[in-house]
Structure 1
Amino acid sequence: MDSPSGSARDRDFENMTDLERLQALVRIETPSLDSGAAARVVAVLAGWWRSVGAEVRIVDSASGPHLVAELSGTGDPVLLVGHCDTVWPHGTLTGDVPWVVDGDTVRGPGVYDMKSGLVVMLSAAERLRGRDHRAVRVVVVCDEEVGSPASRQLIDECTRGVSAVIGFESPHPDGALKVGRRGSTRLRLVVTGKASHAALDPGGGISAIDELVDQLGAVRELVADPALPGEVLCNVGTIGGGSAANVVPAHAEAEIGLRFVDPETERLVLEGLRALRPIRPGAALGVETLSHRPSWSPSASDTRWLGEIAAAAATIGQSLDGRPAAGAGDTNLIGSLGIATVDGFGPAGGGAHAVTEHASLRSLRSRIDLLELLLRSP
């Protein structure tokens, strides 16, 4: 059945239920790199954070506005990390992924990845009002789904002086937290050749497509090298070039996605890719980095932080553990620095980036309970 109407967005934060808060955020469709959409949802979030007593700063960027909130308290702040953009285009709510509540399950674009996580942060912070608690810093960026091109520096600034970090992406399917993430790099391999008539002057041209095919073969050999210390996932996601069958192509390119378990493998592969050279005389080859998130291997500080969270969970009847994740996110940028970090503090659910996207309301409330307890602890 459907939940209450979208007018919940216009009500005071204190008078809204957690479900209404989530609905209000989901009703504002926020595809990445739409600065107007980001401004609308950040304005709502800014008002809500101010209502729970935080000092709020909105940071403009080429991708749109980001939000930083500071909630004064005891000790060095705990940094809460989230994003407000989704993979879904405008019109999804009235198309493939409508807002629906059916018992414990809520569906909608971005409900799982990761607007429910934003509600966890806010609802826990609301419960802290008038009580002793840890200092809290919040950063919500608007370009995570496209690699955080305009928010990396802000995220780095927000890590300064923090005691620990919690990311609010979705958890593992069993609800476990994410401690460690594969590094993720997107590259564009660009080849420039020379056009000529494929029949009248085949030798006068330089086929950019033939050169690209051979270069992709070299990439496959590089990432499959058994001497590498760790596994590499490599996906050629797009490929294009040429204009007609009777023209030797002068241009070709491919977009490549790479995932790394450890920093040394990442370094060796990326250095190898940058060292690629054209095979055909006269061809030109370029390697352009589109986005890069370093690999985050779990550290001793991450393990201690996870243990503190698990111990707190046990006191309220929750069982919780953590392990590395295959996907990358903004916590890669933080965990790779050695700062005590966990991710996946959003509620359980499934279907991220798919029309089956959904979240559990019961899990949402459990995460709020746990975060409140963590932030109340001295």
Structure 2
Amino acid sequence: MTQPGNGAQHDTLQRLERLARIESPSFDAPASERMADVLAEWWDAAGASVRLERTEAGANLIAEVNGVGDPLLLVGHSDTVWPHDSIETTMPWSVDGDTVRGPGVYDMKSGLLVMVAAIERLRNRRHRSVRAVIVCDEEVGSPTTQALLRACADGVAGAIGFESPHPDGALKVGRRGSTRVRLAVRGRASHAALDPGSGVSAIDELVDQLLAVRGIVMDAALGSEVLCNVGTISGGGRANVVPAEAEAEIGLRFLDAPTEESVLSALRALAPVRDGAKVETQLLSHRPAWSPSRADAGLLGLIAAAGRGVDQTITGRPAAGAGDTNLLGSLGIPTVDGFGPRGGGAHAVTEHVSLASLGERIDLLEAVLVDVPASTV
């Protein structure tokens, strides 16, 4: 295993701290601009052609590095789940031996460093072409950047995501699809004692609709398991008023596209049980199921072969969580995720990353870009 020297570790730590101190919660456009400016500076110095594209959520970075063959697409995000001032309160920056803590260091500012640090090592060497895209709204489902991801995926040989790996360092090949749905019911208000017959209870209707949802996701005819979680329920106001409105937000996870489409079609077709009630199903966010393919396995095999050249054993398997690679893998592009360094505590006050693993991932990406012939993906 190749470890970065003390000087390289110091530079990497400085960079990671700089990114961590640019607190960049989703939908904070000015914060995303600050992140994009710093990253653009580093990518430009590494010899990339850099441009920023903006959506209502903020700034997104696209970098192109000329090389051999069709490009590999490197995918990351600059937003985090952490609010401003977390680094001064709940998530202070700290370094304890190999363990680095701070908001977003694991998910996924360390992964962003892996990308650019490996690119910096490629000057004056034969290497494959690279395209990188760093979006600003991944943590909330990439609602404004999915079109950008599709555009950046045009003509690529494969895609590598820099989210965190499995706890043992294994890469992620295949991810459950993730969809959030709002089920909204409108009834009719009335006095619950003096005129109950004139009312239509939106809450009662919602309860029956949620039972119908449960039946849909547990249908034995579905091709695979569906995870369903009713995350929020709201409605009504007073016990003496028949409620006119109620809604629930539902989280769904899918293993394959046919099951996903069957369930979502059934949800769109939900009809009121009560006369006078109205039911609306609204898709809040959607990441399609990415089922591992033979092409994905081929890309994993090439990464594993490059890993052997730097004394690293690389494996991969499916993951439960969703990310931007769901879209790319579902499009049939050879895709692997989890190329970020080992650590833990994503989205929690225990968030941390391994500095040694950060160095290993830089070594591995360098080996992939230099040692893997472009014609083999």
Shorter chain as denominator, the TM-score bin is over 0.9
Partner in structure 2 of residue 352 of structure 1:
346
In the alignment, the residues of structure 1 paired with residue 42 and residue 192 of structure 2 have an alpha-carbon distance, to the nearest angstrom, of: 64
Instruction: Please list every run of 5 or more consecutive structure 2 residues that lacks an aligned counterpart in the other structure.
Output: 1-7
Asked if 1:327 is matched to 2:331, the reply is: no
Structure 1 residues 120-131: aligned runs within 5 Å: 120-131=114-125
Structure 1 residues 166-315: aligned runs within 5 Å: 166-315=160-309
Asked if 1:100 is matched to 2:94, the reply is: yes
The TM-score, its normalising length taken from structure 1, stands at 0.95
Maintained 8 Å contact 2:309/2:367: no
Partner in structure 2 of residue 9 of structure 1:
none
1:30-51 deviation digits (Å, cap 9, x = unpaired):
0001111111111111111101
How far the C-alpha of 1:322 sits from its partner, in A, is 0.2
In the alignment, the residues of structure 1 paired with residue 96 and residue 183 of structure 2 have an alpha-carbon distance, to the nearest angstrom, of: 46
The TM-score, its normalising length taken from structure 2, stands at 0.95
In the alignment, the residues of structure 2 paired with residue 18 and residue 166 of structure 1 have an alpha-carbon distance, to the nearest angstrom, of: 21
1:83 alignment partner AA:
H
In the alignment, the residues of structure 1 paired with residue 147 and residue 188 of structure 2 have an alpha-carbon distance, to the nearest angstrom, of: 40
How far the C-alpha of 1:133 sits from its partner, in A, is 1.0
Determine helix, strand or coil for the equivalent of 2:307: helix
In the alignment, the residues of structure 2 paired with residue 324 and residue 161 of structure 1 have an alpha-carbon distance, to the nearest angstrom, of: 25
Asked if 1:78 is matched to 2:88, the reply is: no
How far the C-alpha of 1:245 sits from its partner, in A, is 1.1
1:100-122 deviation digits (Å, cap 9, x = unpaired):
11000001111100000000001
Partner in structure 2 of residue 56 of structure 1:
50
1:277 alignment partner AA:
A
In the alignment, the residues of structure 2 paired with residue 15 and residue 218 of structure 1 have an alpha-carbon distance, to the nearest angstrom, of: 55
1:148 alignment partner AA:
S
Determine helix, strand or coil for the equivalent of 1:301: helix
1:183 alignment partner AA:
G
1:239 alignment partner AA:
I
In the alignment, the residues of structure 1 paired with residue 83 and residue 243 of structure 2 have an alpha-carbon distance, to the nearest angstrom, of: 34
Maintained 8 Å contact 2:185/2:245: yes
Determine helix, strand or coil for the equivalent of 2:87: coil
- Decide which of 128, 131, 142 is 1:134's aligned counterpart: 128
**Count of residues paired in the alignment:** 365
Maintained 8 Å contact 2:43/2:116: yes
Asked if 1:147 is matched to 2:145, the reply is: no
In the alignment, the residues of structure 2 paired with residue 172 and residue 114 of structure 1 have an alpha-carbon distance, to the nearest angstrom, of: 14
1:34 alignment partner AA:
D
Partner in structure 2 of residue 372 of structure 1:
366
How far the C-alpha of 1:16 sits from its partner, in A, is 6.8
1:173-226 deviation digits (Å, cap 9, x = unpaired):
100000000001000000000111111111111110110011001101110111
Q: Per the alignment, do residues 367 and 15 of structure 1 end up closer, same or farther by CA in structure 2, a change over 3 Å counting?
A: closer
In the alignment, the residues of structure 2 paired with residue 92 and residue 229 of structure 1 have an alpha-carbon distance, to the nearest angstrom, of: 43
- Decide which of 323, 330, 339 is 2:333's aligned counterpart: 339
In the alignment, the residues of structure 2 paired with residue 161 and residue 261 of structure 1 have an alpha-carbon distance, to the nearest angstrom, of: 26
Asked if 1:47 is matched to 2:41, the reply is: yes
2:284 alignment partner AA:
L
Q: Per the alignment, do residues 51 and 15 of structure 1 end up closer, same or farther by CA in structure 2, a change over 3 Å counting?
A: farther
1:125-163 deviation digits (Å, cap 9, x = unpaired):
111112121111000000000000000000000011111
2:296 alignment partner AA:
D
Partner in structure 2 of residue 8 of structure 1:
none
How far the C-alpha of 1:349 sits from its partner, in A, is 0.5
2:27 alignment partner AA:
L
How far the C-alpha of 1:15 sits from its partner, in A, is 11
1:118 alignment partner AA:
L
Asked if 1:37 is matched to 2:37, the reply is: no
State percent identity of aligned pairs.
66
In the alignment, the residues of structure 2 paired with residue 175 and residue 193 of structure 1 have an alpha-carbon distance, to the nearest angstrom, of: 51
Determine helix, strand or coil for the equivalent of 2:322: coil
1:182 alignment partner AA:
R
Q: Per the alignment, do residues 65 and 16 of structure 1 end up closer, same or farther by CA in structure 2, a change over 3 Å counting?
A: farther
In the alignment, the residues of structure 1 paired with residue 213 and residue 290 of structure 2 have an alpha-carbon distance, to the nearest angstrom, of: 23
Determine helix, strand or coil for the equivalent of 2:109: helix
Partner in structure 2 of residue 317 of structure 1:
311
2:234 alignment partner AA:
G
Determine helix, strand or coil for the equivalent of 1:200: coil
Asked if 1:119 is matched to 2:129, the reply is: no
Determine helix, strand or coil for the equivalent of 1:17: helix
In the alignment, the residues of structure 1 paired with residue 115 and residue 74 of structure 2 have an alpha-carbon distance, to the nearest angstrom, of: 7
1:311 alignment partner AA:
A
1:48 alignment partner AA:
W
In the alignment, the residues of structure 2 paired with residue 340 and residue 179 of structure 1 have an alpha-carbon distance, to the nearest angstrom, of: 10
Determine helix, strand or coil for the equivalent of 2:88: coil
Partner in structure 1 of residue 5 of structure 2:
none
